[in-house]
Amino acid sequence: MTAISSSTAPNGLPIHRVQLDGTRAVTALVAFDAGARTERAEENGMAHFLEHLVFKGGEKYVTYRDVNETAENLGAQLNAYTSHDLVAFHITARAEKALEAIDLLTDFVGRPRLDGEELDRERGVVIQEIARSNDQPSTVAEHVIDRAAFGDHPLGRPVLGPEEHLRDTFTREAIVAFRQRQWAGSRGGAFVVGNLEHLPANGALDELFDRFPDLPAPPPYEPAPGFAPRTLVEERDSNQSHLRMMYRPAIDATDRRARAALAIYSTLLGGSMGSRLFDEIREQRGLAYSVYALSHAFSDVPILQLSAGLESGKAVEAYTRMREIVAELRTEGPTVEEVERARAYAAGARVLAFENTNAVARHAANQTIVFGEEVDPDAAIAALDAVTYDEVAEVARGIADELAIGVVGPHTVADFA
């Protein structure tokens, strides 16, 4: 059994300690319900830009050099990510350096300087990041399918935001205001995962995490819209196309067991080399060099996405057959054997991922902040192991033949009518 304990810092930030036996590493991760979903339209891209800016230094580690060199002197790996759901910062170090690593992380993330000159310099860096993503058709396809599925809702906007926001509207005052509005301890969490034997029991950990300001809870984010899917094509003169298809499964996103059943379904559909999509679209028909399915659940809406990268001349045939495979699973159901294989594969993949302290910390942050559920990694594995055939078959029946379509390549909307 995984040993887990929790406390709350004076600023309201929950602190979860997850002891993992057999590792020499520890990961400290701090996350907030302050991802792109929480942005107003004029703020799109601000959550990600703020993620960049805090690395420029805090009160104790004043400059970006202080932050970077301290992490290297600890032998630690330092990083962050912004999604629609969350913004998170994490450091992984050898267990003996855990308290020093947390001291570094909580200083520049909890007490960032947000220097105006550094802000202006970083604008250019993020603008280049946006330009790079726009040069990558597979990334553009992700943006297109989000717009096709969610329209102008925050879930339909790119996490990086538009270039003009970086150039024209992101002032230091606006960024500080966003942080003050969204980075509340009550809508966040700190997670310390791995070998915890070198952490003191004298309250030092809570004191470090109390460096984050005590802020009021943010307003609720905009609920996910009803499903009004569209077909969107970004035409590019290319021999290669990137196809995305998004369904909205008929499950309750807040039901952990239903999410686990959806994960098994997406695995047998396109999550492994034994899946239906990989076997037929790639191996039997040779229609795509990359084809897969994945499921995701935001706090109030689940999605199922099918993706393919392929020669443009084969895109329509691949799309047609991929849609037929989903329909066949809806009407005929999966086989018992493929459900058993997919369940074993999905649970095994989760076990292997959880050998990494960072993966456990990231999963724990998503579970507790997005869904308000327990952080126990053993429970996540058990949830997959417990999925039944009937539950997966029910998910398959609930994938209606209504989908958003996003394509990048030499096509028109009429090709996918």
Number of domains in the chain: 2
Strands (E) across 262-353 are located at 290-297, 302-311
In a domain, 10, yes or no: yes
CA trace torsion 57, 60, 61, 63 (10° rounding): 50
Q: Would you say residue 158 lies in a domain?
A: yes
Same domain? 200 vs 93: yes
> Cα–Cα–Cα angle for 273, 275, 281, nearest 5°?
85
Residues 287 and 170 in one domain: no
Q: For residue 201, what pLDDT is reported?
A: 83
> In which domain, by residue range, is 317 found?
231-416
Looking at the structure, tell me whether residues 28 and 124 fall in a common domain: yes
Q: What is the pLDDT of residue 240?
A: 97
Would the CA dihedral through 179, 181, 184, 190 be positive or negative? negative
Residue 214 lies in a domain: no
Q: What is the structure's pLDDT at 265?
A: 98
Specify whether 25 is located in the same domain as 107.
yes
* CATH code at position 327: 3.30.830.10
Total-model pTM: 0.96
Domain boundary among 209, 241, 265: 209
Residue 345 placed within a domain: yes
Helix (H, G, I), strand (E, B), or coil: what is residue 293?
strand
Q: Which pLDDT does position 1 carry in this prediction?
A: 65
Same domain, 175 and 236: no
Q: From CA 4, how far away is CA 1, in angstroms rounded?
A: 9
pLDDT tens, 294-324?
999 999 999 999 999 999 999 999 999 999 9
200 and 335 in a common domain: no
Specify the pLDDT at position 336. 98
Q: Are residues 327 and 366 in the same domain?
A: yes
Pair 89, 186 in one domain = yes
Shared domain check, 163 and 258: no
Strand pairing partners for 5?
Answer: 17
Q: Do residues 36 and 148 share a domain? A: yes
Q: Is 201 inside a domain boundary?
A: yes
Which of 174, 209, 244 is where one domain is finished? 209
Backbone dihedral region for residue 114 (phi beyond 0: left; psi -120 to 50: alpha; all else: beta): left
Same domain, residue pair 28 and 176: yes
Helix (H, G, I), strand (E, B) or coil at 201: coil
Looking at the domain assignment, is residue 222 inside a domain? no
Would you say residue 216 lies in a domain? Answer: no
Mean pLDDT by 10 residues, the chain (417 residues): 91 97 97 97 98 98 98 98 98 98 98 94 96 96 98 98 94 97 96 96 91 95 95 96 98 97 98 98 97 97 98 98 98 98 98 97 98 95 98 98 98 96
Task: Give the end of a domain, one of 150, 178, 209.
Answer: 209
> Could you give the maximum distance between any two Cα atoms of the chain, in Å?
66
- Same domain, residue pair 276 and 320: yes
